[in-house]
Amino acid sequence: MLLTFRRKFRFPRMMLFVFLAAVGIFMLLPIIFLVNNAFKPLNEMFLFPPRIFVQNPTMYNFEQMFLHSSAGVVPFSRYLFNSAVIATITTLAVIVVSTMAGYVLSKHRFHFKALIMGTVMIALMFTPETVSIPRYLIVSGLGLKDSYLAHVLPFLASPVAVFLMKQFIDQIPNSLIEAAKLDGAPDMYIFLRIIIPLTSPAVATAGIITFQIVYMDVEASSLYMTKETMKTLSYYAEAMTQNIPGVAQISIAAAIGLLMFVPNLIIFLIFQRKMIQTMLHSGVK
């Protein structure tokens, strides 16, 4: 029985593997191109017929990027610094805020809980792009323009992170919390010592999602910031690819494209398993 079963299924599984490998390579094509392009010397970029793989890898594009920006008003390192600070602070802040909210929404009982949860559920489909004008009015109304707060605060409320967190905390047994309460543990202790360690996969997921959004965001820099020194790497990258004419543009774009992609990839690689683990509980009921 088992043997026939195996014989029957071996061939399709091999086919499946080959098919998925083809799909995988196809999906990875833009990334392979991105990586190779960053190390191509100029003459290879305009080679005919075009090649994906680099022949003589060079760091010329990266040198070009540093050279160009050091000649500018604001050095490249300033954009990098802004991006690093903003992405780190925002990611950490979103994690703390969302875990707190998720814990309360999952384990506490209080008035308005159903109302708040319902609003969060609707807000899951919220995209900031749709209301960029009112958000701009609010940011400038609060006097946050040209401050780091305007980079951080608008991203602080993340319905997706709160929702994932709440769903994940839902499956932590109540008895665990009650037992701790019986032993006289205060709420703060329960939160810090029981909830936080148990929710690490959800924390990682919320972190990845937020980091990606913040690191790539251009809106805050282009709408809320008038000073060049307050803008981020993603804004610089976009300005770079649009404003410099000619050959230098392509060279710098190749380098900066890779630079924008790598941190995201590294973070995703580290936390991939945790992310899928979180998704086990991501269901909307």
Partner 1 sequence: MKTVTRIEAAARKPSAPSGYRARIVRFLRECWADRLSYLFLAPFLLSFICFIIVPVALAMLLSLTSFNGFEFPRFIGVSNFIYMFTQDVVFMKHTIPNTLKFAIIVGPGGYILSFVLAWLIHQLPRSIRDYFSLAVYAPSIMATSVALTMVWTAAFSGDSVGYLNNILLSLGLIESPQLWLQDPKYLMTFMIIVTLWTNMGVGFLAMLGGLQTVNTELYEAGRIDGIKNSLQEVYYITIPSMKPQMLFSAVMAIVSAIKAGSISSGLSGMAITPQYAGHVINNHIYDYAFLRYEWGYASALSVVLLLMSYAIMRLSYKLFGTKEDE
6, 10, 14, 31: which one binds partner 1 (CB under 8 A): 31
Assess 247 for contact with partner 1 (CB under 8 A): no
In angstroms, what is the minimal distance from the CB of 95 to partner 1? 12
Assess 270 for contact with partner 1 (CB under 8 A): no
Q: Name residues contacting partner 1, limited to 165-184 (CB under 8 A).
A: none
**Angle CA 252–210–277, to nearest 5:** 120
Q: Which two tokens stand for residue 157?
A: 């409320």
Options 72-80, 174-182, 224-232, 255-263: segment touching partner 1 (CB under 8 A)? 255-263
Cβ-in-10-Å burial (0-12, 13-18, 19+) of 61 comes to: buried
Options 54-62, 66-74, 92-100, 224-232: segment touching partner 1 (CB under 8 A)? 92-100
CA–CA distance, 209 with 206 (Å, rounded to integer): 5
14, 18, 23, 59: which one binds partner 1 (CB under 8 A): 23
Assess 117 for contact with partner 1 (CB under 8 A): no
Q: Which two tokens stand for residue 229?
A: 């020194």
Assess 60 for contact with partner 1 (CB under 8 A): no
Burial 129-166 (b: 16+ CB within 10 A, else e): eeeeeebbeebeeeebbebebbbbbbbeebbbbbbbbb
Assess 39 for contact with partner 1 (CB under 8 A): no
5, 7, 8, 49: which one binds partner 1 (CB under 8 A): 49
| Alpha-carbon dihedral angle through residues 67, 73, 78, 79, given to the nearest 10 degrees | -80
In angstroms, what is the minimal distance from the CB of 168 to partner 1? 11
Assess 11 for contact with partner 1 (CB under 8 A): no
Options 26-34, 68-76, 78-86, 224-232: segment touching partner 1 (CB under 8 A)? 26-34
Assess 156 for contact with partner 1 (CB under 8 A): yes
Handedness of CA 12, 15, 17, 23 (dihedral sign): negative
CA–CA distance, 194 with 189 (Å, rounded to integer): 8
Q: Which two tokens stand for residue 241?
A: 């690819």
Assess 111 for contact with partner 1 (CB under 8 A): yes
Q: Report whether 197 contacts 137 (CB < 8 A).
A: no
Options 56-64, 68-76, 158-166, 176-184: segment touching partner 1 (CB under 8 A)? 158-166
- Kindly determine how many residues on this chain lie close enough to bind partner 1 according to the rule CB under 8 A: 96
CA–CA distance, 246 with 249 (Å, rounded to integer): 6
Options 43-51, 60-68, 82-90, 177-185: segment touching partner 1 (CB under 8 A)? 43-51
Residues 6 or more apart whose Cβ sits within 8 Å of residue 245: none
In angstroms, what is the minimal distance from the CB of 174 to partner 1? 15
Q: Name residues contacting partner 1, limited to 217-246 (CB under 8 A).
A: 218, 234, 237-238, 240-241
In angstroms, what is the minimal distance from the CB of 166 to partner 1? 11
What does residue 50 show for φ and ψ, rounded to 5 degrees? -65, 145
